[in-house]
Amino acid sequence: MKARIKFEKGGVLRYVGHLDMMRYFQKAIRRSGIPISYSQGFHPHQHMSFAMPLGVGVSSEGEYMDIDLEEEINPNKAVDDLNSHMADGVRVISFRYLTEEDGNAMSSVGAASYFLYLKGGEGLDGDLLMSYKNERFDGKDKMLITKKTKKSEREIDLKPFVYDFRLFELDEDYSKKMQSLIPDYETNDFRLNTGDMGIYLLLSAGSEENIRPDLFMKYLTGRKEDWEYLPFGIHRIDLLKKDKDGGFVSL
Amino acid sequence: MGGYYKGACSTMTGKLALSDKVLMRVEKSARYIGNEIGMIKKDPDDVLIRFAFCFPDVYEIGMSHLGIQILYEMFNRRDDLYCERVYSPWPDLHRIMKDEGIPLFALESQDPISDFDFLGITLQYEMCYTNVLQVLDLARIPFHATDRGEDDPIVCGGGPCTYNPEPIADFFDFFFIGEGETEYDHIFDLYGSMKRSGTYSRSAFLREVSHIPGVYVPSLYEVSYNEDGTVSDFVPKFSDVPATVVRQVEMDLDNSPYPEKPLVPYVQATQDRVVLEIMRGCIRGCRFCQAGMLYRPTRQRNVEVLKKYAISMLDATGQDEISLSSLSSSDYEALPELLDFLIDECTKRKVNISLPSLRIDAFSLDVMDKVADVKKSSITFAPEGGSQRMRDVINKGLTVSDILQGATEAFKGGWTKVKLYFMLGLPGEREEDMTAIPDLADEIAMCYYDTIPKDQRNGRVRVTISTSFFVPKPFTPFQWAPMEEATEYKRRAHIVKDRMHSEHNAKSISYQYHEPDVTLLEGVFARGDRRIAAVIEKAYEKGCFFDAWTEFFHKDLWDQSFEECGVDPDFYTMRERPIEEKFPWDFIDCGITRAFLEREWKRSKEEVVTPNCRMGCSGCGIRKYGGGVCFEGKNKV
Ligand code: SF4
């Protein structure tokens, strides 16, 4: 029996990396007594897999992991049990059983949506973003950039992989929500107040073509080198998969 | 703010001492965010006393230490005190903190250390001494206790290195010698009452605290030296200050504090498991082993108490491994009962059991067979000395036939990997003792080929030899012993290596040894006096810290520091000290008598073994503590 857990991550826990986060959840599941199934052998491990790693410093309200269970449990109770064993900064949002069509989280990810906020650095503000968008995005047929991975370096055209890109002003609700997820926003001068300019992105993700938001921003700002410190913060809104009609739905 | 972050405590509002800009630039930033499961949250405004507990090494090492967790639990039981933690920032963050003027902070409240009443530093190994200065430096506390003002935290130290605290005495306001469970409440009571009554001043407190058993306030003592450089006199400056500091021992382990809800770090700790301390002390009396002398008498925890701790720790942490901790687990009398329980419970919970320091015999092999994959795991022997003669010198009661018998059983059970631990440079070591090391490894390999018929062998047997160089420590029978030059240590390692290559089964044996440079420095710190402090300070100024990490150890800088301070390191390491020499640590009464140590030093020279505490009492002096092994079985009166 497989189940999918959705959670959010913020606060100081933003600085906990992906591998540490996996170990964190393994322990949290043991603490909360969720009857997860284990592999055989002397060092049994839990049947658990994350949909996609989340980088250090990145917050999210749409993380997913799949687990295998030994026995069926009540989904609402599972959410409560898990949440009573979470550290401040991680909260389980939902727990649902998977059906035949669902597939596993990792292989079904097709896109990720992001909210990027400004960090006040490098003169990056709403006006500048607007002009970049004008110049380098609107009406462009091709958006060429060099994508570096550990193994290779190749030029790619971002155009077919950027499904949506919009600039918007934070309304009061969204501002409040982000401020509670990133309570240290003020001391860090993160632009999360009502009226601040934010970026919405829907990018191809997963095994087919994974486009990180900072790669898109590198293209947009025309920057050659990688940033030592990003002048914008990344918040993942959701992970999505393709539905039958070619649109995207939440995992 | 929304209802998501509850409560008013600063830790919940996501307060961090380091900015996003800093955290995103350093390795493993989760080392610095606190907020772990098991972290104790209090409002600093609600307490009278703020205590920052420091392990002067990187987070992953410090978080693996049980002692801190015990005292963290105990201190925080007090309503008037908040105990927080601090570790050494890794060199990448250290640089940024220096450049940007960021003060060192505690993990819980993320507040600067300078806001605290106490900075308590645990001293687990000598090579952390420059890290003590790093912590003081980043915390903006003057290095010298005598330079500190009323607003600076009281800097106190504890742990095994306090059995000769003299090389770092200048840097501490006081040391507590012994097990912290015993007296810290009295120390805090005193501090609290002086604060409340308005009688507190730094000097008045230090004078008062020196009356508490186990407390040593270095600034209240005067040391003088003979012309030959040895200590001539060590006296209190005032008549009310005790001339001897007596080690304090917790005799009721079953009712003393234990962290039943230990902290669960995000960054993987070196010991990423819950730890069950089954016993303190060791009955064996190996003459090189400081822990075996210092932690007498051997005290066992009640097995029922341990079962309860195991369950509550696993429940509270969700850890997937539990480890037994003691100096010699096989000597814990209720071990079979405890292991039966743990195997049962851990199988149900899919939790691994790790069993260090078990003597290899039929019983332990049977247990290991249940908890680990024999094909992957290895069996470990620590004969320490290669020859029987050497093992008699060091009083290691392990014979070749014990080892071969254990190995034979293990090979029959399917094991094919053997690890052997030895020391080189033990007192009076001869070439035949060195060559005996690979000879023993060869005998073990031979034993495999003799025991297991060719068609049943699972490849070649693998015997790994590790040697470390011996460092004489205070309060051991070898505290009088000389060390060797670095070149001589290297030569000895090469003797072992060359001999290994000529063994019949050379292909089944491998050999690793540590570099000797750190060993000699450790030797200076272990038996040094107050004049070493200047050298440590100089070395830190030159950029030495994290000396315990090979990649950060700079021998050249240390050499320069000794030279510039006019201190000859050989004085502390190369001499065989005369039996009547007054040692810098003689003012400490650690329980065992000097007469016992002298007797043991003499017996080691005569190659005579001394029975362990259960075979018969050797009258080491520890009986006066009134419990433990001294009053078990045969030793009963
Ligand atoms: S007094 Fe005797 S039994 Fe007790 S620790 Fe010393 S030698 Fe062992």
Per residue in B160-187, pLDDT (tens digit) is 999 999 999 999 999 999 999 999 999 9
A104 CB near a chain B CB, below 8 Å?
Answer: no
The CA-based diameter of chain A, rounded to the nearest angstrom, is 60
| B361 has a pLDDT exceeding 90 | no
Mean pLDDT along residues B194-202: 96
Host H or E run for residue A199: strand A197-204
Angle at B154 between CA B151 and CA B158, to 5 degrees: 165
The Cα of A237 is separated from the nearest Cα of chain B by a number of Å equal to 17
Residues with CB under 6 A from ligand 1: B 296-297, 613, 617-620, 622-623, 629-630, 635
Which pLDDT value is given to residue B2? 32
Q: Where are the domains of chain B?
A: 11-246, 372-531+567-575
Tell me which residues of chain A, numbers 137 to 196, contact chain B at a CB-CB cutoff of 8 Å.
Answer: 176-177, 179-184, 187-188, 190
Express each pLDDT in B120-163 by its tens digit: 999 999 999 999 999 999 999 999 999 999 999 999 999 999 99
Host H or E run for residue B443: helix B431-451
Residue nearest ligand 1's atom 6 by CA: B620
Which pLDDT value is given to residue B13? 57
**Other Cβ atoms within 10 Å of B250 Cβ, number:** 18
Here the tokens at position B371 are 């908890």
Here the tokens at position B471 are 């460092």
Which positions ≥6 away from B115 have C-beta within 8 Å?
Answer: B44, B50
The Cα of B44 is separated from the nearest Cα of chain A by a number of Å equal to 19
User: For B29, which of A15, A28, A177 is closest by C-beta distance?
Assistant: A15
In angstroms, rounded to a whole number, what is the distance separating the alpha carbons of residues B419 and B257? 36
Mean pLDDT along residues B188-196: 97
Mean pLDDT along residues B217-240: 97
* Alpha-helical segments (H) within A100-221: 105-108, 126-136, 172-181, 213-221
Task: Answer yes or no: are the C-beta atoms of B14 and A12 closer than 8 Å.
Answer: yes
Which pLDDT value is given to residue B637? 59
Going by CATH, does the domain composed of A2-107 fall within 3.30.70.580? yes
Which pLDDT value is given to residue B6? 35
In angstroms, rounded to a whole number, what is the distance separating the alpha carbons of residues B391 and B433? 9
Cβ-count burial B71-82 (b if 16+ within 10 Å, e if not)? bbbbbbebeebb
Host H or E run for residue B438: helix B431-451
Residue B427, preceding bond cis, omega within 30 degrees? no
- Is A188 close to B352, i.e. CB distance below 8 A? no
Mean pLDDT along residues B390-415: 93
Which chain B positions have a beta carbon within 8 Å of A9's beta carbon? none
| B8 has a pLDDT exceeding 50 | no
Task: Answer yes or no: are the C-beta atoms of B467 and B437 closer than 8 Å.
Answer: yes
Q: Determine the distance separating the centroid of ligand 1 and the alpha carbon of B613, expressed in angstroms.
A: 5
* 3-class secondary structure, A101: helix
B311 CB near a chain A CB, below 8 Å?
Answer: no
Which pLDDT value is given to residue A41? 84
Range with the poorest average pLDDT among B384-388, B424-428, B530-534, B632-636: B632-636
Calculate the alpha carbon distances from B608 to B391, B396, B433, B512, B618 in Å. Answer: 10, 11, 16, 30, 13
Mean pLDDT along residues B607-627: 95
In angstroms, rounded to a whole number, what is the distance separating the alpha carbons of residues B186 and B207? 14
The Cα of B261 is separated from the nearest Cα of chain A by a number of Å equal to 12
The terminus-to-terminus CA distance of chain A in angstroms comes to: 17
Here the tokens at position B349 are 């919970």
State which of B590, B618, B634, B636 you would mutate to test the pocket of ligand 1, scoring each by most atoms of that ligand within 8 A of its C-beta: B618
Q: What phi-psi label fits residue B269: left (phi over 0), alpha (psi between -120 and 50 degrees) or beta?
A: beta
From B523, B524, B526, B532, select the one nearest B585 (Cα to Cα): B526
The Cα of A243 is separated from the nearest Cα of chain B by a number of Å equal to 32
Express each pLDDT in B403-436 by its tens digit: 999 999 999 999 999 999 999 999 999 999 999 9
Calculate the alpha carbon distances from A189 to A177, A234, B49, B186, B283 in Å. Answer: 17, 14, 33, 46, 60
DSSP β-bridge partners for residue A36: A69
Tell me which residues of chain B, numbers 249 to 278, contact chain A at a CB-CB cutoff of 8 Å.
Answer: 264, 266-268, 272
Of all atoms in ligand 1, which is nearest to the CA of residue B283? 8
Task: Answer yes or no: are the C-beta atoms of B327 and B277 closer than 8 Å.
Answer: no
Q: Which residues of chain A have pLDDT under 70?
A: none
Q: What phi-psi label fits residue B513: left (phi over 0), alpha (psi between -120 and 50 degrees) or beta?
A: beta
Using 50, 70 and 90 to split pLDDT, how confident is the model at B372?
confident
- Is A30 close to B318, i.e. CB distance below 8 A? yes
The Cα of A187 is separated from the nearest Cα of chain B by a number of Å equal to 8
Place of tokens 């010198």: B393
A28 CB near a chain B CB, below 8 Å?
Answer: yes
* 3-class secondary structure, B517: helix
From A59, A56, A115, A79, select the one nearest A4 (Cα to Cα): A79
**A164: phi then psi, degrees, rounded to nearest 5:** -160, 145
Beta strands B462-469; B509-513: pairing state: parallel
User: For B13, which of A13, A19, A183 is closest by C-beta distance?
Assistant: A183
State which of B620, B624, B637 you would mutate to test the pocket of ligand 1, scoring each by most atoms of that ligand within 8 A of its C-beta: B620
Question: Which residues belong to CATH 3.30.70.580 in chain A?
Answer: 2-107
Mean pLDDT along residues B549-567: 96
Which pLDDT value is given to residue B459? 82
In angstroms, rounded to a whole number, what is the distance separating the alpha carbons of residues B502 and B507? 10
* Alpha-helical segments (H) within B57-183: 59-62, 66-76, 91-100, 129-139
- Could you write out the DSSP letters of every residue in B161-184? GGGS-GGGGGG-SEEE-B-TTTTH
DSSP β-bridge partners for residue B85: B53
Nearest residue on chain A to B267, alpha-carbon basis: A20
- Is A31 close to B316, i.e. CB distance below 8 A? yes
Which CATH number is B372-531+567-575's, of 3.30.750.200, 3.40.1390.10, 3.30.365.10, 3.90.78.10? Answer: 3.30.750.200
Express each pLDDT in A75-98 by its tens digit: 999 999 999 999 999 999 999 999
Q: Determine the distance separating the centroid of ligand 1 and the alpha carbon of B400, expressed in angstroms.
A: 27
Here the tokens at position B155 are 């800097």
Which pLDDT value is given to residue B3? 33
- Could you write out the DSSP letters of every residue in B13-64? GT--SS-HHHHTTSTTGGGG----BT-----GGG-SEEEEEEESS-HHHHTT
